[in-house]
Structures are given as C-alpha cells and as structure tokens.
Amino acid sequence: MARLSISEREKQYWSQRYIENRTCWDLGESSRPLVDYIDQLEDKSIKILIPGAGNAFEAEYLFNNGFKNVFVLDIAPEPLILFSQRNPNFPKTQLIEGDFFEHVNLYDLIIEQTFFCSFPPKIETRKRYAKKMNTLLQSNGKLVGLWFNIPLKGDLEKRPFGGDKKEYLSYLSPWFNVKTFENAYNSVESRLGKELFGVFEKKHR
Ligand SMILES: C[S@@+](CC[C@H](N)C(=O)[O-])C[C@H]1O[C@@H](n2cnc3c(N)ncnc32)[C@H](O)[C@@H]1O
C-alpha cells in the first residue's frame, strides 16, 4: 500500500475529527478578543487569511461586517463545506482546502486561533510555523491571534499542545516585531487566563 504523505495523514486525522464531531476546540461563535480586534480595524479592503480556520466563525463575522477580502484555509474539507452552507454568498474561491505549509500567497493580516496548538509540538514544526507566517505576509503585514498559555504536557494525544509566552517568543521574535503579547482580558470564560493575545508585525530580514 502506498504510504501517505504527512499532509494526507493530517487531512485524514482532521477530517475524521469533524466527521465524528470531536471538535471540542470549537467555540461555536466568534472569539471575543478577535472580534474586539476586528472592530477597531478601519480599512476593510485588507486581505485576510485565517489558516486552520475550522468552522471559521471569525471569517463569517468579518465578511458580514464588510471585509470581503477574507480567505479561509483548512486541510479538512468538512468545515469548509459547512461554512459554505452557512454562508452561501461567501466566494467559493476564497475557501481553500489545503495545507498551510504549502500555501502560497500574500496577506495583510493573518488570524490565529487554536491552530498553532494543533500541531504535534516539535520544535522544528513550531519554528516552521513562525517562518511560514512571515512569508505569507506582505511587508508590514500582521499576525494577530490567540495562543494558549497552558503547560505543554508530554502526552502527544492531548491537544491543545500548550506553551508559554517565552517559548512562543523564541519562535516568533526572529520573524516579527512584537506589538503586544499579553494575557487576554476578554477571553470566553472557559479560556480566561489561559490564552495570550498577540499582535506581531512582519520583520524584514
Ligand atoms: C484545533 S482546530 C481549530 C479550528 C479553528 N481555528 C477554531 O478555533 O475553531 C485546528 C484546525 O487546523 C486544521 N489544520 C491542521 N493542520 C493543518 C494544516 N497543515 N493546514 C491547514 N489546516 C490545518 C484542522 O483541520 C482544524 O480545522
């Protein structure tokens, strides 16, 4: 039997979780810290990517609030299909089924939420994520989002894979100027005190 590539294995893993409804990460609505960030954006023409978007409630919020240049990327087709059913007017060409690490394009803003923590926490993968985020941004582009501030345990079956501010900065600061990176004060109750809100501006190297 042919061996599956890493992308194909990941796709199968995540598809299966959606098929079995094992989506405990899903808030079922837009996350408050991200909504508050979005609400203060003035330029609605910016090109935005949400990678590992899942059900992508933030993309829905953006789109319904006048941001039309929003792209949703996920390796699993199931949440993209559901998103499209919920949002029939959202352009299909802006729903991308694919692997983040293979995706090529340039954005002004990338939004992170429970995506970093979904990868098996190898140092190499975490470094690769930071570098890839940088290469997907236009000059002065921003990576904005939430990263869990919870201990990383040894159990490789237990997502979300945690980390702390110091560790995240070790991956992100080579590629980004840190505008803010603090405990979110406006998280949903279940995540209060457990997530960092960050705004990182692309560094030129
Ligand atoms: C923990 S879920 C989070 C989903 C969403 N961000 C949320 O907060 O509800 C991780 C998501 O990343 C997607 N994913 C995992 N690896 C990926 C990759 N390499 N490229 C694109 N999407 C990926 C999964 O299919 C899944 O939808």
**What tens digit of pLDDT does each residue of 81-123 get?**
999 999 999 999 999 999 999 999 999 999 999 999 999 899 9
User: Quick check: 2 pLDDT over 70?
Assistant: no
Quick one: pLDDT band at residue 26, thresholds 50, 70, 90? very high
Q: Note the pLDDT of residue 173.
A: 98
How many whole angstroms from 72 Cα to the centroid of ligand 1? 11
Q: Note the pLDDT of residue 79.
A: 98
User: Quick check: 155 pLDDT over 80?
Assistant: no
Q: What percent of the chain has pLDDT over 90?
A: 89
Q: Note the pLDDT of residue 157.
A: 74
124 three-class SS: helix
Q: Note the pLDDT of residue 1.
A: 53
83 three-class SS: helix
User: Quick check: 6 pLDDT over 80?
Assistant: no
| Through-space distance between the first and last CA atoms of the chain, rounded to whole angstroms | 44
Quick one: pLDDT band at residue 71, thresholds 50, 70, 90? very high
| 172 in Cβ contact with 200 (< 8 Å) | yes
- Ligand 1 pocket: which of 14, 117, 126, 133 to mutate (most atoms within 8 A of CB): 14
User: Quick check: 134 pLDDT over 80?
Assistant: yes
Quick one: pLDDT band at residue 204, thresholds 50, 70, 90? confident
CATH node for 29-202: 3.40.50.150
Ligand 1 nearest-atom number relative to CA 7: 19
φ, ψ dihedrals at 148, nearest 5°: -65, 135
How many whole angstroms from 81 Cα to the centroid of ligand 1? 14
Greatest alpha-carbon span in the chain: 53
175 pocket-lining for ligand 1 (C-beta < 6 Å): no
Residue-wise pLDDT for 28-46, tens only, equals 999 999 999 999 999 999 9
Mean pLDDT across 127-146 = 97
| 99 in Cβ contact with 134 (< 8 Å) | no
